[in-house]
Amino acid sequence: MQSSAQSPIRLRPELSKLPQLVAYIALFAQEHGLNISDTYALTLAAEELFSNTIRHSRSPANWVLFSLIHRHESVIATYTDDAPPFDPTLQAESDITASAGTRPVGGLGIHFIRRAMRSFDYRRLDNRNVVTFTRHLTG
Amino acid sequence: MRVFRFSYGVELLYVSGIMKASIEYVDNVPIINLSGRLDTLTAPALDAELASFLVESRPRILLDLADVTYISSAGLRSILHLVKHTSAHGGRLGVFAVAPHIMELIEISGFPSLLDLYPDRKGALDSMHGSA
């Protein structure tokens, strides 16, 4: 099976590090010829998980590890942090049919990941949260 | 954060180095022009800047996304605040010039039922004048 990986990026979970995460994905996308739609979807998903680590961890995570693998017509992303257990795949489905007045303002990021990715999985492994998602490339 | 206000009806708000926002008025219709990235870093600053703008009742607002290259879920929340404001005042938010890759997010999030989408500025303004 042909696959091509990029060395993982390790970040402190701080909002100021978000541009580094974005740049990492942009470089991968450039090297692998990803179109703007796929690049956008991967970036949005990674940003969502990164902001969740920062905002929702009951105790602060010390680090985040993120990697991308290009395999055939898909990109497999692995997002790992050392925060307390948190499974984003269990987040309640966002009600996208609610009216403007009652539409909840949260949950849209996870909703997008569920819809835009072929898979979205969580494991707790060695006291780490490990989230993987796969984007089936559109171009 | 630097804020520039011009007496001839155009306000320029420099929110950050990677996103800019300005408000202009065309025939009394406010148009929020955004450029750059609307993400976890920039959306809270935009919300803060727009708070004073939204103190007044504004049932009609247009949002120009022609120069927006990226919107995250945090950016969607900023747009949803505008949706809720216009709706609460008996109107509806109009959005125009959305890039195709961002349209995927807009559609997946169910926003087309909450706001009016136009291909360009002219179409948006024509609609506003037609409904005035």
Coil, strand, or helix at residue B116?
Answer: strand
Residue A82 sits in a domain whose CATH number is: 3.30.565.10
Sequence ranges of the domains in chain B: 2-131
- Structure confidence at residue A58 (pLDDT): 67
- Structure confidence at residue B11 (pLDDT): 43
- Structure confidence at residue B8 (pLDDT): 36
- Structure confidence at residue A106 (pLDDT): 82
Residues in chain B predicted with pLDDT less than 50, given as ranges, are 1-16, 132
Q: Which of B70, B73, B83 sits opposite A40 (nearest CB)?
A: B70
pLDDT for residue A13 is more than 70: yes
- Structure confidence at residue A95 (pLDDT): 86
How far, in whole angstroms, is CA B61 from its chain's centroid?
7
Number of domains, chain A: 1
Per-residue pLDDT averaged across A62-75, rounded? 96
How far, in whole angstroms, is CA B34 from its chain's centroid?
7
- Structure confidence at residue A125 (pLDDT): 97
Q: Which of A18, A37, A48 sits opposite B41 (nearest CB)?
A: A18
Interface test with A, best of B103, B108, B111, B114 (most A CBs within 10 A): B108
Q: Which residue of chain A comes nearest to B78, CA vs CA?
A: A105
Higher pLDDT, A55 or B30: B30
Domain topology for B2-131: Transcription Regulator spoIIAA (3.30.750)
DSSP code string of A45-99: HHHHHHHHHHHH-SS--S-EEEEEEEETTEEEEEEEE-SSP--GGGSPPP-TTS-
Task: Give the bridge partners for B36, in sequence order.
Answer: B19, B68
Higher pLDDT, B7 or A45: A45
What tens digit of pLDDT does each residue of A88-116 get? 999 988 888 899 989 888 889 999 999 99
Domain, as residue range, for A92: 3-136
Among chain B, residues having any CB pair with chain A shorter than 8 Å are 18, 39-41, 70, 72-74, 76-77, 80-81, 83-84, 87-88, 100-102, 104-105, 108-110, 113-114
CB B81 within 8 A of CB B115: no
